[in-house]
Amino acid sequence: MLVCALGAQHLKPGRFLADQRSAAKIEDRLPREFAGWKIAPVAGVLVNPQQDKLINSLYAEVINRTYVSSSGQRLMLSISYGRNQSDNLQVHKPEVCYPAQGFQVQSLNQGELRIDDQVIPVRRLETTFGPARPEPVTYWTTVGDHAVASGTDKKLQEMRYAFKGFVADGLLFRMSSIDPDSKRAFETHSRFAADLYAALGPAERRQLFGSLD
């Protein structure tokens, strides 16, 4: 029993992976303009104060931006970053938080987003807020520098970091747009992600997009 106790203590992570990253906030490292996209004034975004309070209590940084393309397409970007991806500080998934704000989830499907040599596991939702606001959503989650496809993958990555002595950080990267044509919206999300990936440096790419290696 003593050996087991000592072993468990030895494997208990004592360092935060977040402390190995740049001290600069993610928001400060995100470009405001790239590849024909630029930040636009926020308009028509629904806010639930209780939901915001919960999210802000879970995450070290929450970023919400609206980008508009040179052709007039608008895309809402949300990044929620947490220093500790333990069970009580998990990413707040859109299939949970959207209904909490009054949206209906019409469909939820797993998919893949291919950018260069990266294959990112994503989830795509079709949501509506009444007849006037159809909002397709694409999102993925990371643990450390790894995109995770499921709860099992998440646990495995957390364990791998724990064996190295680290408490893993992680984030939820969400894109959405108000568009009745879901196929067109998802294509816009994929194009935006690829354009952003090309505009970032290696460290930002690893943190925001992860990998599956």
For the chain, how many structural domains are there in total?
1
Give the DSSP per-residue string, the chain: -HHHHHHHHHHS--EEGGGGS-SS-HHHHS-SEETTEEE----S----HHHHHHHHHH-SEEEEEEEE-TTS-EEEEEEEEES--SGGG----HHHHHHHTT-EEEEEEEEEEEETTEEEEEEEEEEESSTT-EEEEEEEEEETTEEESSHHHHHHHHHHHHHTTEE--EEEEEEE---S-HHHHHHHHHHHHHHHHHHS-HHHHHHHH----
Position 9 in a domain: no
Position 179 in a domain: yes
Position 1 in a domain: no
CATH number at residue 194: 3.40.1000
Q: Are 179 and 72 in contact (CB under 8 A)?
A: no
Full residue range of the structural domain in which residue 188 is found: 14-209
Position 8 in a domain: no
Separation between Cα atoms, residue 129 and residue 29, nearest integer Å: 32
Position 151 in a domain: yes
Position 7 in a domain: no
Q: What is the pLDDT along the chain (213 residues), one digit of tens a residue?
A: 443 443 444 456 778 888 888 888 999 999 999 999 999 976 555 445 556 666 667 788 999 999 999 999 999 999 999 888 765 545 578 998 899 889 999 999 999 999 988 899 999 999 999 888 999 999 999 998 999 988 888 889 889 999 999 999 999 999 999 999 999 999 999 999 999 999 999 999 999 998 754
- The whole-model pTM stands at 0.87
Residue of 128, 111, 132, 118 lying closest to 176 (CA atoms): 128
Position 160 in a domain: yes
Position 3 in a domain: no
